[in-house]
Amino acid sequence: MLVNRKVQTLDEFTIQQMRDFPNATGELANLLRDIGLAAKRINVEVNKAGLVDILGEAGQVNVQGEDVKKLDIYSNNQLMGVLKHGISCAGIASEEIDDFIAFNDPVSNQSKYVCMFDPLDGSGNIDVNVSIGTIFGVYRRVTPIGTPVTKEDFLQQGKKQIAAGYIVYGSSTMLVYATRRGVNGFTLDPSIGEFTMSHPSIQIPEFGQTYSVNHGNFFKYPKAVQQYITHCQKKEASNGGPYTQRYLGCMVADVHRCLIKGGIFMYPGTTNKPEGKLRLMYECNPFAFIVEVAGGTASNGKDRILDIEPNSLHQRSPIFIGSKGMMAELHEFINKGVE
């Protein structure tokens, strides 16, 4: 068998990154490997979702009051399982679970990281074979090593993230993760079952040609957001509008497009849900971290997402995220108020 030594796997990359820090313990590299392993298992099930009886709803409602799909449960269990049995994570919080879980065993209590995740984002897309994803954020615990983790280890501002990433199960499966040092993307090579470096040092373009928003809610958005959307549809939009509208209903896939090609993604508050739909801890913070490291911007329309002080694990936040230039334009509309 021919081995292409130009290929760099996710594990090789994270270990190489660690070598630049003589005091690094390798815990983060381990944790990312564990998440990569869970992602590969989830990917296998996602790919055969149409074949086996895991489509559709599992007949439960999650803590957000939404239907839980079977693959959501499977993905949640895979991530929880690898992180619990690994040696680098002291506890988790998941969009699918009401409260955080402290692993509370002698090995896990020695770990310095906690992980928060949305195991299967955009799960409404499963039944129709459209992209879905996994999102995660990693924080350094604030309670002493050697003790079980507590809620304060999880309720930290997004800017405290050590790493954040996502996996998009799309036409190919990709894992993208960011540390303060940069954002890198790895595509799963199904022939060898490894995530291999495909998108090194991702930088989000300053402008893109697309905006991504649920138009069905248009009349429920704040007036300034409506005006910005209308502006995107017009010729005078900067960078040569009108922009193209793209919306898959899967934040992972929609923000991934913005990250690679430039663009803006919005999930504003609506008249009936002023805090919008997306969760600060599982969706907004990880993406805000990734996009900022890549040179973009993320806000709730007023404040930087990463500065928001969380008060509950499942709180929601409006989010506007993407290319710096487009975000600046949006903020101009919001700041000048409605005409």
Q: Which residues bind Mg ion (CB under 5 A)?
A: 118, 121
How many whole angstroms separate alpha carbon 114 and alpha carbon 149?
A: 8
- Closest distance of CB 159 from ligand AHM, Å: 22
Residue 214 Cβ vs ligand AHM, minimum distance, rounded to whole Å: 4
Round to whole Å and give the CA distance between 110 and 24: 15
Nearest to ligand AHM of 86, 165 (CB atom): 165
Partner touching 214 among ligand AHM, Mg ion, none, CB below 5 to 8 Å by kind: ligand AHM
Burial environment of residue 305 by CB neighbours within 10 A (0 to 12, 13 to 18, 19 or more): buried
Closest approach of Mg ion to the CB of residue 14, in Å: 25
Smallest gap, in angstroms, from Cβ of residue 250 to ligand AHM? 5
Phi, psi (deg, nearest 5) at residue 199: -130, 80
Nearer to Mg ion, 119 or 296 (CB): 119
* Secondary structure element (H or E) that encloses residue 81, with its range: helix 70-85
Tell me the closest approach of the beta carbon of residue 323 to ligand AHM, in angstroms: 18
- Tell me which residue has its CB nearest to Mg ion: 121
250 binds, among ligand AHM, Mg ion, none (CB under 5 to 8 A by kind): ligand AHM
72 binds, among Mg ion, ligand AHM, none (CB under 5 to 8 A by kind): none
Task: Kindly tell me which of 86 and 133 has the beta carbon lying closer to ligand AHM.
Answer: 133
Q: Which residues of the chain form contacts with ligand AHM (CB under 6 A)? A: 66, 118, 121-124, 214, 249-251, 267, 277
- CB under 8 Å, gap of 24 or more: what pairs does 247-250 form? 247/212, 247/213, 247/214, 247/215, 248/122, 248/125, 248/130, 248/131, 249/122, 249/124, 249/125, 249/130, 249/214, 250/121, 250/122, 250/125, 250/130, 250/131, 250/132, 250/133
